[in-house]
Amino acid sequence: MGLLGGIYAIWLREVKRALRDRGQLIGGVSRPLMWVLIMGIGLNPYFRGEVFGEVRFAIPYTYIQFIFPAIVVLNIMYTSVQSAVSVIWDREFGFLREVLVSPLPRWAALLGKILGGTTIAVFHGCLVLVLARFADVTFTFEQLALGLVYMFLLAFGLTSFGVVIANHIRSFEGFGVFSNAVILPLYFTSSSVFPLDPALTRAQTLVVYPEWLVTIVEWNPITYAVDALRGTFINFNQFNPSLGPIVLAVIAVVFFTWALFDFRKA
């Protein structure tokens, strides 16, 4: 009971701080609006292709529908990784010590912190879901529930990842540079903004795309996060549907363990 109270206290602090940070909230709202309204609507008419002389839709969805789950992932990525800035903050401004001398075990302190970041990230993911109507995406309550589970796993894994990075970076500036240098490439190579046509064999895909790009997409774990959410929200999977949940769970476990290892050393 005492342990839960402590984890709750740390979680509560993270959430309070994030909600008081106007800049983060504005980013969380404006980012999906920009992607849905500008990218989505702008590219919508071009999202059909001619493959081997045969005109057809690449996939049976509009472009907005196609990128909508990816925008959920993008918003979660930004928020999760950003939330790890608070690790640097705590170290710089001394609050870390208050936690270190407390009778709370290290793993509980870390868990509270990561759950706090995860909550905010899932919340920002939900801000995108509010736009579902404009993207012409409809889903049932069950789909929403499953989607939230995937979003939670993704946010948990990415927040842990952010904490790992924050443990190795000393300055706020370094962290800002880092997060942009990592988030966007991961996002763009996750088959988020363009599909790898599932109707094509790998050999045919390689005719359309250079091999390095296909390889990166296939190795990028975010690809499977996007795919899992696509499968959930628009019933479209480019990869084996069971891969998504597995990859998400592995990311969450691996990075949390890593973050804990670093934090114990501290």
User: Which residues contact other proteins by CB under 8 A?
Assistant: 1-2, 5-6, 8-10, 12-13, 16-17, 20, 91-105, 167, 170, 265-266
* Separation CA 38–CA 20 (nearest Å): 28
Looking at the Cβ atoms of 53 and 103, the one nearer to other proteins is 103
Q: Counting beta carbons within 10 angstroms of the beta carbon of residue 68, is it exposed (0 to 12), middle (13 to 18) or buried (19 or more)?
A: buried
Report, in Å, the least distance between residue 103 CB and other proteins: 4
Report, in Å, the least distance between residue 174 CB and other proteins: 13
Q: How many CA atoms lie within 13 A of 225 on its CB side?
A: 33
Report, in Å, the least distance between residue 107 CB and other proteins: 12
* Separation CA 191–CA 211 (nearest Å): 14
Q: Which two tokens stand for residue 112?
A: 């509270």
Looking at the Cβ atoms of 2 and 45, the one nearer to other proteins is 2
Report, in Å, the least distance between residue 166 CB and other proteins: 11
Q: Which two tokens stand for residue 117?
A: 């970041």
Report, in Å, the least distance between residue 76 CB and other proteins: 23
| Three-state SS sequence of 218-248 | HHCHHHHHHHHHHHHHHCCCCCCCCHHHHHH
Report, in Å, the least distance between residue 28 CB and other proteins: 18
Q: Which two tokens stand for residue 59?
A: 């996939």
Backbone angles phi, psi at 51, to 5 degrees: -115, 125
Return the axis-axis angle of helices 221-234 and 63-83, rounded to nearest 10°: 130
